[in-house]
Structure 1
Amino acid sequence: MTAITAPAQTVTTSAKIRNRVLWTLQIVLGLFFVIASGGPKLVIPQTLMANESAPVAIPLALLVFIGVAEVAGGIGLMVPKLSALAAGGLSVLTLLAAGTQAFLADMPGMAIFPLVLSAIFAWIAYERRDSIAALRATLSR
């Protein structure tokens, strides 16, 4: 009797598709966090605070720190060796943003987008977990 095995080409094609989907997500979300989310917090933080209509007041230093974390995470998503760490950090950051929206700002409907982003970043971090070992090997030289 012979065993039936899946052709190697199918596995390779599936891995290539997954890799392309991951890189597309990483680039789009990285650009989003650099340009649309973190960038304005660094360029015009006083204007953002003046136009804030949320019931939670965010100190200027915290707003700038969040902006730096978002820009660094967005850039890290687009660097192959940093992608898993950046995705893990952004997953935590967006999870905390969802908690802030749901519990402190008392707007649980606004927490859905950060929760979805947190799940996407956790998936990216899981799929790119090999880059952590590569980074560790690079740093230990």
Structure 2
Amino acid sequence: MTAITATPARTTSRAGNIGLWTLQVLLAVVYAFSAFGKLTAEAQNVAGFQAMGLGNTGMYIIGTLELAGAIAMFIPVLTGLAAACFVALMIGAVIATRAIGGGALAAIPATVLVVAAIVAWGRRDSTRRLVARLRH
């Protein structure tokens, strides 16, 4: 008797997959540009992180995380997890922007939050597979 192995059900249509890849590229570009400003200590980023009380260390840590996430958008096994981490990062960004008086400026990280959430949801099967692989 031979074992039957279940193949994972395809949860994304071809058009859905193309849409997700488009959003992934968009997120990668947004985060790469954002990381560049932080990692090169552009004056506006330095001032913003000082105003939030995170200082240069916080700026470099977040810049590094953004760059790593941008790269992960092109590594299929990591995309869902990276997008989920971006969701958490953007929740913090929305809160921080509102807290320092950003008001309407909070719409920018909120929009990126929504895009990251769409990718995280669309790539949730890859995240499940990654977690299962790490458990074994």
Shared fold (TM-score greater than 0.5)?
Answer: yes
Q: Does structure 1 residue 92 correspond to structure 2 residue 88? A: yes
Q: Give how far 1:45 is off.
A: 1.6
Contact map agreement 1:46 1:60 (CA 8 A) in 2: no
Structure 1: stretches of 5+ with no match in the other structure: 1-11
Partner of 1:37: 34
- Aligned counterpart for 1:19 among listed residues 17, 20, 39: 17
The count of residues paired between Structure 1 and Structure 2 equals 126
Report the Cα distance in structure 2 between the residues aligned to 1:62 and 1:53, rounded to whole angstroms. Answer: 7
Structure 2: stretches of 5+ with no match in the other structure: 1-9
Deviation readout 1:35-64 (Å, 9 max, x if unpaired): x1012211x226445665985454110000
Q: Does structure 1 residue 81 correspond to structure 2 residue 77? A: yes
- Provide the alpha-carbon RMSD of the alignment: 2.5
| Percent of aligned pairs sharing the same letter | 27
Contact map agreement 2:38 2:45 (CA 8 A) in 1: no
Structure possessing the higher radius of gyration over alpha carbons: 1
Amino acid at match of 2:36: G
SS of the counterpart of 1:45? coil
Amino acid at match of 1:115: A
Partner of 1:129: 124
Q: Give how far 1:126 is off.
A: 0.9
Work out which structure has the larger RCO, using CA pairs closer than 8 Å and 6 or more positions apart in sequence: 2
Task: Give me the TM-score of the superposition, normalised by structure 1.
Answer: 0.77
Contact map agreement 1:83 1:131 (CA 8 A) in 2: yes
